[in-house]
Amino acid sequence: MLKILNVVGARPNFIKIAPIVAEIARRNGEVSQVLVHTGQHYDESMSQRFFDDLGLPTPGINLEVGSGTHGEQTARVMLAFEPVLVEERPDWVVVVGDVNSTLAAALVAAKLGHRVAHVEAGLRSFDRTMPEEINRLLVDHLADLLLTPSSDADENLRREGIDPAKIIRVGNVMIDTLRRQLEHASESRILEDLKLSPRGFVVVTLHRPASVDDETTLDGIMAALAVIAERMPVIFPVHPRTQTRLKEFATNVSAGIQLLPPLGYVDFLRLWSESRLVLTDSGGLQEETTSLGIPCLTLRENTERPVTITEGTNRLVGCDPKRIVAEGTRALDDNQPRAPHLPELWDGHAAERIVEALISHSL
């Protein structure tokens, strides 16, 4: 029987692996699996709530590496993961996304001669100041199977000299999770609890170092959000990193901006899917808003998901306060309904194609 080791470490990983785990379970008797949680995100708000919301089983193995610098975290995962591989001897190590755990697991697997499959391969921001970009590049050149979400990802890999036989476009597995959880999310009481009306509020998420680690940048973003909040309430679930910086910098937070603790997947899905506008520096949220037709302003100078701009509802605005206010005002003034748009193969069946590719490439 084919044996697959699925490795996750952070919230975006959980969202992407959930439908893959479910599809492997559906093929019980044909494929077996072990879920390995590195512990990169390890507390209740960053980990367990997402496992519960997504219906993920308790990980068979938890490495419990915790936080640290990029180098420390990557090294800890490598040290802890190596004996797991020696013991488990899987046919495939499946890594998802671009976090430190993804790179660490891929490095160890490649060195020990285990085949690596990378889900969400080929994404490029072309900005090597982003730690995630370094992770993406290295993992893609280590992997034996590159499972891509879009045609631009295919082209990026071919341009880098990757063997086309290794590249398989499977679609966007995050949309699998989104579709499966929409009905569940409709049962969330988050809007009622916050006394919000559908399309009557703005949602914000920020967590990247470029957005929150510089005091001037963070102050400017919060000042821009204060202007937008004069038009419509701004709801801001705050990542632990961002919360630390807001306190450290004593950043002024307008009364129109409601700070919340991190939300579980289901509550957050209900929140942003009912919003008028999303402002974010997240990668996955660019894709999710596109799939449901929610206008999105990305507070970055680049994106590894250009299809969300060329075919979706996303717009890059950077961190300049004046531009954020101008584009935010423009979005709020646009009363035309946005139709959901699904790029090719964003159809809710990516996990099926992923598992099929793992099986067919094992023969």
Output Rg (C-alpha) for the chain, integer angstroms: 20
Joined tokens for residue 110: 């490649």
| CA gap 45, 42 in Å, rounded | 8
Is 207 labeled as catalytic in the residue annotation? yes
> Contact, 6 vs 147, CB < 8 A?
no
Among residues 261, 263, 267, 264, which one has the least CA distance to residue 246? 261
> Contact, 91 vs 2, CB < 8 A?
yes
Strands of the chain (E only): list them.
Answer: 2-8, 31-37, 61-62, 92-96, 115-119, 145-148, 167-169, 202-205, 234-237, 257-260, 277-280, 296-298, 314-316
Backbone angles phi, psi at 185, to 5 degrees: -65, -30
> Contact, 262 vs 47, CB < 8 A?
no
Q: In 27-122, which residue ranges form alpha helices assigned H by DSSP?
A: 49-54, 70-88, 100-111
Among residues 217, 229, 219, which one has the least CA distance to residue 301? 217
Backbone angles phi, psi at 141, to 5 degrees: -85, -10
| CA gap 225, 88 in Å, rounded | 49
From 70, 118, 141, 207, the catalytic residue? 207
Question: Burial level of 259, CB count in 10 A (0-12/13-18/19+)?
Answer: middle
Among residues 139, 147, 174, which one has the least CA distance to residue 354? 147
Residues in the chain, how many?
363
Residues annotated catalytic, as ranges: 207
